[in-house]
Amino acid sequence: MARDEHDSRYLTAELPGTGGLFKETPEDFLVEEIPLYLPCGEGEHTYAVIEKRGITTLEAIRRLCRATGAPERDTGYAGMKDARGITRQTVSLPRVTPAEVMGLDIPGIRILSAERHRNKLRLGHLAGNRFRLRLRETVPDAADRARAILDVLARRGVPNRFGEQRYGIQGNSHLVGRAMLAGDWRGAVDLLMGDPAKVEGERWRAAIEAYRQGDLAGSLGLFPGHCRTERDVLQRLAKRPDDFERAFHGVHPRLKKLYLSACQSALFDRVLETRLQTIDHVMEGDLAWKHDNGACFLVTDAKAEAPRAERFEISPTGPLFGCRMTSPEGEPAALEKSILDATGLTPAAFNLAGGLRMEGERRPLRVPLGGPELSCEEEDLVLRFSLPRGSYATAVLREVMKRPGNGD
């Protein structure tokens, strides 16, 4: 496939240097779910479209449940949205009327609509997300560069990275997950406590330093109240100082799953980086992703499948490693095995007990960029686009905000 002069910007794996170009306020970042289906108008569940600011999806659900009396376990949502900017998404509330929901006045939440439906909303029940992002104080040629890069992304696809936001505030969630998979419980606890150089606040830094010096009681007394997980683990460790596995059991199962998922994500991103130059090509042995239905098939004749890849009907996939993940063959299999081997892990390591078993799956290495639009407002650029569910706007920003002169 022919390359143009702007493709090298897209293909470079350098991190973007924002240089203060993205000074975020809530209005700079808008995410809106694209529903998989609309409520039918009858049933015991109310589908509420909410707009939230400054709170996570789980916190929004807690506030909605406190206000309505709906049990959290029976409340549904299609996807997680973080606390950044303005986000709009659907939440299902059982045995609550639309009128009751529309009458709510909850800090951080605005109710946009409410209609009845028969079933609880399930995780993944969304088609994708629309984004509106404002880039401030851009350089003089930013618009021309952005348009050229968006053209490449629209034609060849967006690298389906998870990216740094997947790895937590300290950027080490994936390392905690890897330590769990390796059975290195002391390492998992050490990573959980964190790095003093990567946290804000003198008291927080002092708490980590105290832990590193073996002063468990002092560390427990210093950790801020919002560090609930660290405090729970320290309380257990103080009772049995050498039992790091028991201490780590103080971590909530949902958080453990996030650590393991972050490890999967980091390994996928590593595979993606090695194949970035040919992200729009399939190889023999690939498990190719069919974009119309999400099914995978083994590529036995790469040349025959090339036109389908060029039409964006299919794409190569990468691994979300697990104990039952279907592996590719040939060169793709060798690449993925080498990356997993470098961690010291095997697929069997993902077969954890206690509800933490990670079966694994395939994920496309690229995704289509939907409806990209770029407008200039004084010195700012405003980007609008959509992505399929499970893909991140930061993958687009990473490409658009690259600086010239660094090989990109």
Instruction: HSE, CB side, 13 Å, CA atoms: give it for residue 368.
Output: 15
Tokens representing 82 are 């973080």
Q: What is the DSSP string of 54-84?
A: SS-HHHHHHHHHHHH---GGG-EESS---SS
Distance CA 386, CA 155 (A): 14
Output DSSP code: residue 103. Answer: T
State which amino acid sits at residue 357. Answer: R
Residue 303: CB atoms within 10 A of its CB come to: 8
82 tagged catalytic: yes
Rounded (5°) CA angle 256-259-263: 140
Q: Which has the closest alpha carbon to 275: 309, 234, 317?
A: 317
Distance CA 219, CA 193 (A): 10
For the chain, how far is it from start to end, CA to CA, in angstroms?
20
The catalytic residue among 82, 141, 184, 242 is 82
Q: Which residues pair with 159 in a beta bridge?
A: 366
Place of tokens 């998989």: 36
E strand or H helix at 10: helix 7-11
Chain centroid, CA 139 distance in Å: 29
**Residues labelled as active-site residues:** 82
